Structure 1
Amino acid sequence: MKKHDILFQAQEEAFIQALEEEMARETPDPNAIRAILDQLDRQTGGAAFDPDAGWRELQTRRPAKRRRLGRYPVVLAAVLVCLAVAGTALAVNLGLHEKLAAYFHLQSGESALLESAIENPVTTVSDQGISVTIRQTLANSSGLYVLYEVTTPESIALDPEKNWHMEGFLDLSSLPLQAPLGSSIFGNDIVEVTPHKITAVAYAYTPVGTMSSGTVHLRLTRLGYWEFSSSPQFIPIAEGTWHLTWHLTHIDPSITVTPPALPLPDGSGNIESISLSPFSCVVISTGAPASDWPVSLVLQNGSTLPLDASNGQYTTGRLSASGQENPQYYSYFQFHPLISPSDITALVIGGTRVSLGAS
């Protein structure tokens, strides 16, 4: 056998092994699967993988190379089954990941609201035997959510009853944020814990900025848990450097409305603009923050929906760009559950009603 034939087979074997490993995941990623299949097809001289070709292509493709492909047809058959079965974890991952859907309390069909905001970077880094993988991102003009998984070795068992935490933050400093202040709100929510895996959502709000395409960093440093028996105490079990970098190709699903000089209820300033996306609302005003008054949405069916935390569905943040001659105030409302901007006809701030529509 020639030397280049040995190398050729070794490369094919590596691609097939990578394909099998991805298929063995709890939620296989279709983008990663297609990328591996495309690489394997190029190795064997075929065209890029097309799942629509289905079983017919599986039966007829490249018969002359069958002896080299080994278990490839079996693995490909499994891929085609997964791509064909609706309702599987793989099918969910073609749109919004099931863990993010649960995080936002989405009902059936609501994930379609976020299609333009979804990206699947799938980047991984390992240190101290612990791997961190980015599974999916979700962004709009003022916020970024990152779904990631932390996988531990057999020597580190995770007790699901403990209050686990991964120290670190989302670094947006490389993004061209068009903001009067560098203020941001960061957080890290644990979604699920199993004996050797943590699923979490890291997020960053930039209510005084505008998210744009660019490089994003997730910087994590310590894995541990909180004890609350007497006073809060963080117990680290692993320290390392888990620095993940990827490019955010941002498509903003927000609708921005600039009303014609509408005054605030007390006349101290004006409502400058309102930005709506399925998971947030940002009101920019002068004179005072809009959140100083009751704020509610008016829906297509005529009902009103208060934007406050009392009903357990919304959180409210307030930032001000102080120190300026005519400061702007940013009132940020995060939606839980999501709301389609097309279902909102108006925003009411105190007694001031702002009709909404695409700018």
Structure 2
Amino acid sequence: MNNLYRYVVVIYLVFVSSLVSAESVDWMLNVLKNGDYQDKVEVYRSVAELGGERDAAVLDQIQDNVFAAFNGKSRSKIVRDEIVLGSKALIASGQYKYYNFVDQVHRNARSKKIKNEIAPALDSYMEFVEFNLLQKSKKYRKATNSPTEAFIMRLVSHDNINFKTYGVKHAVESGSYFNILDNWVVNMLQGYNELNVDEVQLGLVKQGAEYLSYHPERGAFKAVLVEMSEHAKSESVRLIAGEKLESFGYMAELEKVKNSRDYMNQRFTEDQAYILRLIDHSSDQLAILALEKAVKENIYFAEFEEKVVTRLRSPYLANESRTENLDFQILACRYLGLHPESGKYSHLLNQISNITDNKELRKMAAKLAG
């Protein structure tokens, strides 16, 4: 009986959802045929944002509207919007026949404004198609050790620089470091040393430098970044290389902290011992890492809190610069202000709020103090 009941409910839900869908399509068709400008625009935008309305009748009607607007005599803003927004909605459907129609509109448009506004949608469609082809391709499968490595190599070998950038980024995020890609990244970076790079190229350079700085054998690539920082033609490239070289020291220190056994033989958990080692370090970056973990995982215990308070008070007691470790101060106040024992550090937070010269810190400390 229960199974029969479930079956009836499922059939009912499918029936109701089909009615809702049908009503939605009917409403869209009515608006597209008879609605005013504002209502039509809303339909075009919603179709584009949702990745395309798959109902053929709706898409065909949008195509008819764009065709009529394009071939009409008026070139008012309303007509231009209908052409541009309708074209974007058609492209978002992901169907080639509508891409082909919009491509013809783009080719034949006399208005530079219409051409410029439609072009990115056409480009994104081709990137989408090309990206899917790259995912299905088997190129580099024999030259690499995994499907992920092969896919990354297909991306970085593509003519489209956006694919190259995404490929290197994907390698960093997935922890995929391998010899063929190492060589490709090094050659790419050395090539850009001689050029004045634009913003898009700079994105690829930044990802490449990041790849080397996170590499398990990053020491072997330090010379590449040193060369970039000293000899690259573009100042932006030199700055990126310099930033990544600074992170070499940070990563080395982080490894030491991770491998240390300090606090492990005491009554602390593994996570507690780890954040104690981080907060003990002279680097504000590592101390911030400790606070980020403590806030995210709601880790509160007396020994750590005491170290946070001491470090937070230090520049004020010593009358040192209060701006050098501002990021640490802000995060430390947040950590103490979110303490499970409400109001435990209100007095300290009030003091910080009254003393600090930084507007953001003053406002946040006062708010957390209550």
TM-score of the two chains, using structure 1 as the length reference = 0.22
Greater C-alpha Rg: 2
Q: Which has the higher contact order (CA 8 A, sep 6+)?
A: 1
**Structure that is richer in helix per residue:** 2
Greater share of strand: 1
